[in-house]
A and B are shown apart, each in its own frame.
Chain A
Amino acid sequence: MKVFRDLFRDYRFAVSFCVLCALLIFACLSFFAPYDPTLWHVVPRDLRPSRAHLLGTDSNGQDIFWTASFAVRNSVIVALIAGVVSRIIAVLFGMIAGYKGGNTDRVLMFISDSLLVIPLFLIIVLMAMLVRASMNLVTLGLLLALFGWAWDARVIRSLILSLRTREFTETAILSGARTLPLVLNEYMPYAMPLVFSTLINNMAWAIGLEMTLAILGLTNVLIPTLGTMLYWAINYHAILLGRWWWVLTPVVLSVLLFVALYWMSVSVSEYLDPRTRVQRVGAE
């Protein structure tokens, strides 16, 4: 609880926490939606925002408010799958590389370095194009997870490298702890905060990439996400026709989401870094 109170002293954390909560509540509203998001032409098309349709309706004959709530939910689901799976890969790579050292370390870090330097967007596009037929929220999440771990594996590795030189590692090894339990029980608690703060960053990255892929028509455009909403709006020339409510809804929602996630990650990682924490919270 104390952690939470300290975090809330940072206005960025407070703001981003409130915005994220609001967005999550909005996403949860989709469970009570009066319309089925997979059906088209359930409401009159292209209506301006009104009391009956809070954010208007689109050219597919869907209510934008309720589609948007499905969209936020689905985008967050994709981001969570991508974030959690890529965290698992990052932790595995980072811990093995950091703990084993030597040639294992060199090979694993070479792989992650290669992923860092090549223009990943193109490779992801190439893969998305080929799995387009079987694309759904899960495959999309996994696809993004496959490419989103390289930097964080490096961060975790350097943490393990420093933990390995600590005395408690020697103590554990001398008292007969096996490698796996040692890493999981002794190192994991140190890595957890890092895993969490990189998770937020990675989720924002995944949502951004999902939107880009969707706008290019590389995902399943029948599933409402923030990206596919924009895809349809652009496809129907909503800007040209002046249907601002249709274009602005996904844009504004995604900007809120990105900024909130970023502020939260900055605030959390500043809190985790003892040097900056002393500046803000004061020495204890």
Chain B
Amino acid sequence: MTFLKRYLIPRLIQYFLVIFLGITAVFFIPRFLPNDPVVQTVAALQARGSSVDPATIDQMVADLTELYGLEGSLLQQYGAFWRRLLHADFGVSFFQFPAPVSELIAAALPWTLGLLFVTTVISWTGGNLIGGLAGYYNRKRWSRALDGVSMVIRPLPYYIFAFALLLMFAWAIKWFPTSGGIGIGRKVALNWPFIKDVLWHSFLPALSLTILGGAIWFQTMKLIVQNVNAEDFVQYAQLGGVKEDRIVSRYVIRNAMLPQITALALALGQIFSGALITEIVFSYPGLGGLLYNAIVNGDYNLILGITALSIIAITTAILVLDLLYPLFDPRVRYM
């Protein structure tokens, strides 16, 4: 009971409040800015050289106003916005008219989730394991070498690192395809050639996300382990003759792992943003690719939909990680 009152309920309130505020911001920011998306869209259409008579333009303005949910007072718009959101209705996409935004997102989502899940798991566990070992044996040469490499890779932004990989492995030495998620014309099917094709296409984006993410986990883990090393219980275990690899795995890394779970929860939003950027570089058919098309075509509804959905997804993932935390740390019982 105390668990509910002390922890779960405040945490849930915080969760809903973040979503509420995030989505409210997404709703209000565009409306407080001086630019009118309807006028902008019409202007963009005209700039492309399509000549239309004034009556059609008036009709278009009316249609777009409805499409963008800009009818009525601000409060009415806000209410309608939430009503539609709860039905997962983000309106109609502009650049792939008349496909609904929710359908486009649903088609792109599996690509992004797959890429994101696999790379986050690999980079987090890999980075922490290697970082833990490198922190424990921090005087060894391989540990210093890895540290040197991560010092160069870590500061690079997602775009530049992915772009560098693309230049190297897809243009200079043509080992991997430069873009796309599957070969042109290949049908979706659950057989080996299809899976092989997907893996081959997603190798570079996955590699880029894994290395960049791994470098960050590696460095923070190494630092934490170096601090844990100085703790009394480690020296006591060493003096007591506990085997070295047991000290590393059971005593040091296990203790140092815990703050990294919290760090993962905090970093999830950034990792997600990074995945979108990486997908843009590799023209991957996930949410990032969709976002790029939406930006280039000024598809306001689509961007709004992707943003709102991402806020909900990321905060939910963080909530789940937080609730799972006691499973990893026996000291936390929320009693």
Contact A218 B295 (CB under 8 A): yes
Stretch at the interface among B23-31, B117-125, B327-335: B23-31
Q: Mark B267-298, 1 if CB is under 8 A from A, else 0.
A: 01110110011001000000000011001101
Q: State in angstroms the CA–CA spacing of A215 and B277 once bound together.
A: 11
Stretch at the interface among A24-32, A39-47, A80-88, A205-213: A205-213
Contact B292 A129 (CB under 8 A): no
- Chain A stretch 232-278: residues in CB contact (< 8 A) with chain B: 239, 247, 251, 254-255, 258-259, 261-263, 266
Contact B29 A118 (CB under 8 A): no
Does A126 count as interface, using CB distance less than 8 angstroms? yes
Contact B35 A117 (CB under 8 A): no
Neighbouring A residues of B307 by C-beta, 8 Å: 119, 122-123, 126
Does B164 count as interface, using CB distance less than 8 angstroms? yes
Q: State in angstroms the CA–CA spacing of A114 and B298 once bound together.
A: 27
Does A8 count as interface, using CB distance less than 8 angstroms? no
Neighbouring A residues of B311 by C-beta, 8 Å: 118-119
Contact A262 B273 (CB under 8 A): no
Q: Mark A185-217, 1 if CB is under 8 A from B, else 0.
A: 000000000000000000010011101100111
- Chain B stretch 171-201: residues in CB contact (< 8 A) with chain A: 171
Q: State in angstroms the CA–CA spacing of A262 and B270 once bound together.
A: 18
Say yes or no: A129-B272 contact (C-beta < 8 A), given A123-B25, A247-B167: no
Does A92 count as interface, using CB distance less than 8 angstroms? no
Chain B: residues with Cβ within 8 Å of the partner, total of 52
Contact B151 A130 (CB under 8 A): no
The residue that A118 contacts in the complex, of B151, B292, B314, with Cβ under 8 A, is: B314
Say yes or no: A262-B22 contact (C-beta < 8 A), given A117-B318, A121-B273, A129-B295: no
B120 to chain A, nearest CB (A): 14
**How many residue pairs, one in A and one in B, have C-beta atoms under 8 Å apart?**
125
Q: State in angstroms the CA–CA spacing of A116 and B268 once bound together.
A: 9
Contact B295 A217 (CB under 8 A): yes
Most B CB contacts (10 A, CB to CB) among A114, A134, A251 go to A114
Neighbouring B residues of A259 by C-beta, 8 Å: 151-152, 155-156
Does B221 count as interface, using CB distance less than 8 angstroms? no
Neighbouring B residues of A247 by C-beta, 8 Å: 167
Say yes or no: A212-B268 contact (C-beta < 8 A), given A110-B17, A126-B303: no
Contact B160 A258 (CB under 8 A): yes
Contact A239 B171 (CB under 8 A): yes
Interface residues of A (CB under 8 A from B): 12, 110, 113-114, 116-123, 125-127, 129-131, 133-134, 204, 207-209, 211-212, 215-218, 230, 239, 247, 251, 254-255, 258-259, 261-263, 266
Q: For the A-B complex with A117-B268, A119-B310, A262-B151 known, give 11 more contacts whose Cβ atoms are closer than 8 Å.
A: A114-B17, A116-B266, A118-B18, A119-B307, A123-B26, A126-B29, A129-B300, A129-B303, A216-B292, A217-B296, A259-B151
**Which 8 residue pairs of A and B lie closest in terms of their CB atoms, listed nearest first?**
A208-B157, A262-B155, A121-B273, A122-B307, A258-B155, A130-B33, A119-B269, A212-B159
